[in-house]
Amino acid sequence: MTINRQDPSVIIIGAGMTGIQLVIKLKEAGINNITVLEKSTTIGGTWRENTYPGVACDVPSHAYTYSFAPNPDWSNLFPSGKEIYQYFESVFYQHDIDRYTNFSETVIRCVYNKQQWTVETQQGNCYTADLLFSATGILHQPVTPSIPGIDEFEGPAFHTARWDHSIDLAGKRIGVIGTGSTAAQLIPEIVKRPNSDVTVFQRTPQWITRVEDKVFTEQEKQRFREKPHRMQRFKRFALYIFELGTSTLTGNSWWQKWMYTLFSYTAKRNLNNSIKDPVLRAKLTPDYKFGCKRVIINSTYYDAIQQDNAHLVTDSIERVEAKGVRTSNGDFHPLDILVLSTGFDASAFMRPMEFIGEQGVTIEQAWQNKIQAYRSMLIPQFPNFFLMLGPNSPIGNYSIIAISEIQTDYAIQAIKLWQKGTFDTIKARPEAMEQWSAMLKSKMGKTVWTSGCNSWYLDADGDPLSWPDSWKNWVQAMSQIDLKDFVTEGH
Ligand code: NAP
């Protein structure tokens, strides 16, 4: 089969944050034969699917913005999910990405054969492309906990990522299972509903760093409009703080230790200053290190959990019954509504799609021993395929937009080399994959994530699925293609 390298066809799965910027950057790189397949009828991903009360971003707005589409009009430091969705939608239409997008196309199967990808959708359509991108996001498969009796609850029961807006929360007894970042945003909103009564089932307490939200005044927005460099400075500052924060979780130099102590102290002080009742404070005090689980950035949860209509239950859940939840101490908690704030399967990546690479190898086979990808993006048996936000991307308390953009730049470098004929297919050598994994492994033990807690950061072996080193070193690793790591057969 002859490949038109100068005008390759590209399929992108997903029209969320990553899919949108991929189209824009690929077009800038002169690639126009692009098809985006989106399962829903609208753009979105995370910000379409998460509409629970209080949904917001806990990364500052100007840092949670594309580099090429600064937004002086952000209303808040931590904007609502709806505002973020509208931002992505405006970028999508401003850049005419609808021209490239086929909505209501749920990809179920991708097969590589003879230098081509064939992509099948649930709707019965079949597409082919030279290059394939998965832009399906990280936290998109909600986890329903395997608690006995979970299906027996008689009232409305739903995951936070599948919020049922037809249910009126006023005057209801609402049970929330889980106390992660989502619950910390949700609970303060639902305790405010008239005559609601909220029972929070906490399995593990969390470290919370208090950062107050801020509403930008019209004057400030005007200044950002007139002096974009000020906005850029603000963005750089916010990203720098996050960079500093995450680097203290992955390294042990004197200054990292010092900063780590400072950040942990801030979270401890927040807990001590915010929670008056020593019994409640003890229940909310984690027994693992700060940063082991993703740090929650929030200024409202501690106030909410001290309201008269909020109850924190720390006895483990024994079973869910038709009319409520029974805990291991025998107590029964009657409920009208059950909310599962139980997180996502962070190791799903593009699955449950079926992925078949060279010689019929499936993604399940390729990942049988370890979920891994060279530079988080390239899986050796799956040529010409880029997994965006793949394993060991520096996810966590950082702007995922910046990560996605850097990965796109790396992919475009690889595509340009392929277009020049430097290699026949974009494919990492298995040895390069092994070296990459060994390098990650050598650093993992130094991270706080392996210090003894359960979190979605860890894979089945207890190894972090996130980048176990500083942001600076990741940017460095992604800055250039190392040709010796690629298969160059035929040249
Ligand atoms: P999560 O952090 O994974 O929290 C899930 C919660 O459910 C935990 O408290 C967990 O307890 C609990 N849980 C799970 N299974 C349970 C069971 N069988 N019985 C009792 N409790 C159970 O999920 P999340 O809060 O949805 O947040 C996931 C990630 O989404 C965040 O870490 C963050 O990266 C992202 N997020 C970001 C924002 C933002 O503003 N940028 C907002 C929301 C979410 P254990 O701790 O004991 O496992």
Say what percent of the chain tops pLDDT 70: 99
Quick check: 223 pLDDT over 80? yes
Residue-level pLDDT at 4: 83
- Ligand 1 atom having least distance to the Cα of 50: 43
Whether 199 lines ligand 1, by a CB cut-off of 6 Å, is no
Taking only the tens place, the pLDDT of each residue in 346-369 is 999 999 999 999 999 999 999 999
Whether 335 lines ligand 1, by a CB cut-off of 6 Å, is no
Residue of 84, 181, 319 to mutate, ligand 1, most atoms within 8 A of C-beta? 181
Measure 463 CA to ligand 1 centroid, in angstroms.
18
Whether 339 lines ligand 1, by a CB cut-off of 6 Å, is no
The average pLDDT across 212-240 equals 94
The residue whose CA has the least distance to atom 18 of ligand 1 is: 145
Whether 203 lines ligand 1, by a CB cut-off of 6 Å, is yes
Tokens found for residue 87: 């931002």
31-40, 94-103, 395-404 — which is least confidently predicted? 395-404
Whether 127 lines ligand 1, by a CB cut-off of 6 Å, is no
Q: How far apart are CA 343 and CA 355, in angstroms?
A: 25
Residue-level pLDDT at 489: 65
Whether 56 lines ligand 1, by a CB cut-off of 6 Å, is yes
Whether 319 lines ligand 1, by a CB cut-off of 6 Å, is no
Whether 296 lines ligand 1, by a CB cut-off of 6 Å, is no
The average pLDDT across 58-82 equals 95
**In 328-399, where does DSSP find H-type helix?**
363-366
Whether 59 lines ligand 1, by a CB cut-off of 6 Å, is yes
Quick check: 231 pLDDT over 60? yes
Whether 161 lines ligand 1, by a CB cut-off of 6 Å, is no
The residue whose CA has the least distance to atom 26 of ligand 1 is: 343
Taking only the tens place, the pLDDT of each residue in 108-132 is 999 999 999 999 999 999 999 999 9
Residue-level pLDDT at 62: 95
The average pLDDT across 294-310 equals 97
Residue-level pLDDT at 245: 87
CATH superfamily of 9-141+345-485: FAD/NAD(P)-binding domain (3.50.50.60)
Whether 248 lines ligand 1, by a CB cut-off of 6 Å, is no
Measure 375 CA to ligand 1 centroid, in angstroms.
26
Quick check: 3 pLDDT over 90? no
Measure 412 CA to ligand 1 centroid, in angstroms.
34
Residue-level pLDDT at 488: 78
Q: How far apart are CA 382 and CA 427, in angstroms?
A: 7
Q: How far apart are CA 37 and CA 134, in angstroms?
A: 10
The average pLDDT across 394-407 equals 90
The average pLDDT across 225-248 equals 92
Say what percent of the chain tops pLDDT 90: 94
Measure 327 CA to ligand 1 centroid, in angstroms.
20
Residue-level pLDDT at 2: 65
Taking only the tens place, the pLDDT of each residue in 416-474 is 999 999 999 999 999 999 999 999 999 999 899 999 999 999 999 999 999 999 999 99
- Ligand 1 atom having least distance to the Cα of 395: 34
Residue count (the chain): 491
Residue of 182, 397, 453, 456 to mutate, ligand 1, most atoms within 8 A of C-beta? 182
The residue whose CA has the least distance to atom 43 of ligand 1 is: 182
Quick check: 325 pLDDT over 70? yes
Is-cis flag, bond preceding 278, omega within 30? no
For CATH 3.50.50.60, the residue range(s) in the chain are: 9-141+345-485, 150-207+265-340
Residue-level pLDDT at 196: 98
Q: Give me the chain's average pLDDT, please.
A: 96
Measure 206 CA to ligand 1 centroid, in angstroms.
10
Quick check: 383 pLDDT over 60? yes
- Ligand 1 atom having least distance to the Cα of 456: 3
Residue 25: pLDDT band with limits 50, 70, 90? very high
- Ligand 1 atom having least distance to the Cα of 147: 18
Whether 181 lines ligand 1, by a CB cut-off of 6 Å, is yes
Residue of 187, 200, 203, 339 to mutate, ligand 1, most atoms within 8 A of C-beta? 203
Whether 465 lines ligand 1, by a CB cut-off of 6 Å, is no
Residue 141: pLDDT band with limits 50, 70, 90? very high
Say if residues 77 and 321 touch (Cβ distance below 8 Å): no
Residue-level pLDDT at 1: 58
Whether 57 lines ligand 1, by a CB cut-off of 6 Å, is yes
Whether 341 lines ligand 1, by a CB cut-off of 6 Å, is yes
The average pLDDT across 3-31 equals 96
3-state DSSP percent of the chain in helix, strand and coil, to 5? 35, 20, 45
Quick check: 67 pLDDT over 70? yes
The residue whose CA has the least distance to atom 12 of ligand 1 is: 178
Whether 399 lines ligand 1, by a CB cut-off of 6 Å, is no
Per CATH, is 150-207+265-340 categorized as 3.50.50.60?
A: yes
Residue 490: pLDDT band with limits 50, 70, 90? low
